[in-house]
Amino acid sequence: MWGMDERAAEDGARESHPLRFRTVFLDRDGVINRKPAAGEYVADWAEFALLPGVPQAIVRMNAAGLRVFVVTNQRGIARGLVQESAVREIHRRMVEVLAALGARIDGVYVCPHDEGECDCRKPAPGLFRQAQRDVPGVDFAESVVVGDSWTDMEAGNAIGAATIRIEPDSEAARATSETARVGLRVDAVVGSLAEAAEWILRLRDA
Ligand SMILES: [Mg+2]
Ligand SMILES: [Zn+2]
């Protein structure tokens, strides 16, 4: 946890979000698996590297009764750099590997488009709405969006969910990026999905 006074952050979240979150939307690259270099895409399962602590974090959230969705922009598909079938296969294996470790993913939603050609590329809300259509009872006001990009925070703000930004780099780097985007609401900045789960579950238990 960095930046905000922790108590102030919790109070802020209490003001506009219910104590009990029910749904978590996870970005993929940089949250679940190691982020590829800028302009590169995970094109094959062999390139998909789960980040440390991810299965355990999802298990904990499942156990607390949270639904867990994955929402990911993959414009490498539109650019012809990644096969859509390869992305499907990567997600099938991701869900399978996580399930073998006891971690349940309730749905995986992908935007395969390039910028400006759809209503599902984050920060647009299309992927979140797809999950809402597929699974009854998903209320954005009871949801948290976890991501490592500003587009994830922007999407979370747009649907009225809480937002957690993962910034694995040094505190100095976090400070720089924080000041770069004033105007976006970020409820917590953490270093990993494990820390994000900690934050979500602490609020639930409060
Ligand atoms: Mg990401
Ligand atoms: Zn799209």
Sorted by where each begins, the domain ranges of the chain are: 6-205
Q: Tell me what pLDDT residue 8 has.
A: 44
Ligand located closest to 72 CA: 1
3-62 tens-digit pLDDT: 444 444 444 444 444 447 999 999 999 999 999 998 889 999 999 999 999 999 999 999
152 catalytic residue (yes or no): no
Q: What are phi and psi of 132, to 5 degrees?
A: -65, -35
Return the closest-CA partner of residue 110 out of 132, 127, 135.
127
Distance, CA 159 to ligand 2 centroid (Å)?
16
Model confidence band, residue 102 (pLDDT cutoffs 50, 70, 90): very high
Distance, CA 138 to ligand 1 centroid (Å)?
22
Q: How far apart are CA 67 and CA 205, in angstroms?
A: 17
29 catalytic residue (yes or no): yes
Ligand located closest to 113 CA: 2
For domain 6-205, give its CATH number from 3.40.50.1000, 3.40.50.10420, 3.40.50.300, 3.40.50.970: 3.40.50.1000
End-to-end Cα, the chain, rounded Å: 17
Distance, CA 193 to ligand 1 centroid (Å)?
12
Entry pTM: 0.87
139-176 tens-digit pLDDT: 999 999 999 999 999 999 999 999 999 997 756 556 65
How far is C-alpha 158 from the geometric centre of its chain's CA atoms?
A: 15
Model confidence band, residue 202 (pLDDT cutoffs 50, 70, 90): confident
